[in-house]
Amino acid sequence: MKRLLSLLAAAVMVLPFVCSTKAKAVNFPLEEPIQSESAVLINLDSNMVIHEKNADVKQMPGPLVNIMTAVVCLENCEDLDEKVTIDESIYEYLYNYEYPDDLRFAEIEDGDVLTMTDLLYAMMLTSSVEACETIAYKIGKGDTERFVEMMNEKAAELGLFDTHFTNPTGLYDPNQYTTANDMTKLTMYALDVPMFETIATTYSYTPSNPNPEHHDDPNSWIWTHSNVMMDSDGDYAYSGTKGIKTANLDMAGRNIITMASRDGNKYLAVLLKSPLKSSSGDIAYFHIVDAMSLFDWAFGHFSYKTILADTAEVGELPVELAEGNDYVLAKPKEEFTRIWYDDIDISTISRDKVEWYKTSLQAPVAKGEPLGKVTLEYSGEELGTVEIVAVSNVERSVSKYNIYVAKMFRKSRWFNRALMISFLLCAIYILVCIYAYVVFKSKSKPMKPIYAVPKVNKNDRRRRRSQNDDEK
> What percentage of the chain carries pLDDT values higher than 90?
74
With 50 as the cut, is the pLDDT of residue 398 above it?
yes
Question: What CATH architecture is 2-301?
Answer: 3-Layer(aba) Sandwich (3.40)
Q: What is the mean pLDDT of residues 382-408?
A: 86
pLDDT digits (tens, 9 = 90+) for 184-214: 999 999 999 999 999 999 999 999 999 999 9
pLDDT at 471: 59
Q: How far is it, in rounded angstroms, from Cα 338 to Cα 43?
A: 10
Taking only the tens place, the pLDDT of each residue in 371-392 is 999 999 998 888 999 999 999 9
Indicate the pLDDT class of residue 45, thresholds 50, 70 and 90.
Answer: very high
- Taking the C-alpha atoms of residue 241 and residue 75, their distance in angstroms, rounded to an integer, is 26
Secondary structure, 3-state, 316-350: EEEEECECCCCEEEEEECCCEEEEEECCCCHHHCE
Instruction: Convert the chain into a string of H (helix), E (strand) and C (coil).
Output: CHHHHHHHHHHHHHHHHHHHCCCEECCCCCCCCCCCCEEEEEECCCCEEEEEECCCCCECCHHHHHHHHHHHHHHHCCCCCCEEECCHHHCHHHHHCCCHHHCCCCCCCCCCEEEHHHHHHHHHHHCCHHHHHHHHHHHCCCCHHHHHHHHHHHHHHCCCCCCECCCCCCCCCCCCEECHHHHHHHHHHHCCCCCHHHHHCCCEECCCCCCCCCCCCHHHCCEECCCHHHCCCCCCCCCCEEEEEEEEECCCEEEEEEEEEECCEEEEEEEEEECCECCCCCECCHHHHHHHHHHHHHHHHEEEEEEECCCCCCEEEEEECECCCCEEEEEECCCEEEEEECCCCHHHCEEEEEEECCCCEECCECCCCEEEEEEEEECCEEEEEEEEEECCCECECHHHHHHHHHHHHHHCHHHHHHHHHHHHHHHHHHHHHHHHHHHHHHHCCCCCHHHCCCCCCHHHHHHHHHHHHHHC
HSE-CB at 446 with a 13 A cutoff on CA atoms is 4
343 or 423, which is more confident?
343
- Per-residue model confidence as pLDDT tens digits over 65-118: 999 999 999 999 999 999 999 999 999 999 999 999 999 999 999 999 999 999
Q: Residue ranges per domain, the chain?
A: 2-301, 309-398
pLDDT band at 56 (very low <50, low <70, confident <90, very high): very high
Q: What is the structure's pLDDT at 17?
A: 41
Determine the pLDDT at residue 237. Answer: 97
Please give the residue that has the higher pLDDT: either 448 or 302.
302
Position 21 scores a pLDDT of 40
The mean pLDDT value for 15-33 works out to: 65
**In whole angstroms, what separates CA 204 from the centre of its chain?**
36
pLDDT of residue 24: 62
Considering the chain, what percentage of its residues have pLDDT values greater than 70?
A: 86
**What pLDDT does residue 427 have?**
85
pLDDT value for 440: 78
Between 381 and 267, residue with greater pLDDT:
267
Assign domain 309-398 to its CATH superfamily. Answer: D-Ala-D-Ala carboxypeptidase, C-terminal domain (2.60.410.10)
- The confidence score (pLDDT) of residue 306 equals 95
* Residue 432 scores a pLDDT above 90: no
Q: Which residue has the higher pLDDT, 462 or 348?
A: 348
Pairing of strands 24-25, 48-53: parallel
Does residue 455 have a pLDDT over 50?
A: yes
What is the spatial distance between Cα 313 and Cα 327, in angstroms, rounded to a whole number?
13
pLDDT of residue 437: 80
pLDDT surpasses 70 at 448: no
Least confident of 7-16, 77-86, 208-217, 246-255: 7-16
Residue 451 has pLDDT above 60, yes or no: no
pLDDT exceeds 70 at position 444: no
Per-residue model confidence (pLDDT) at position 75: 98
The Cα 334–Cα 306 span in angstroms is: 11
Q: Are 179 and 34 in contact (CB under 8 A)?
A: no
Least confident of 17-21, 171-175, 335-339, 356-360: 17-21
**What is the chain's mean pLDDT, rounded?**
89
Question: What pLDDT band is residue 3 in, cutting at 50, 70 and 90?
Answer: very low
Q: How confident is the model at residue 7 (pLDDT cuts 50, 70, 90)?
A: very low
**For residue 395, what pLDDT band results from cuts at 50, 70 and 90?**
very high
Of 166, 191, 184, the C-alpha closest to 70 is 191
Asked if 108 and 122 count as a contact pair (C-beta separation under 8 A), the reply is yes
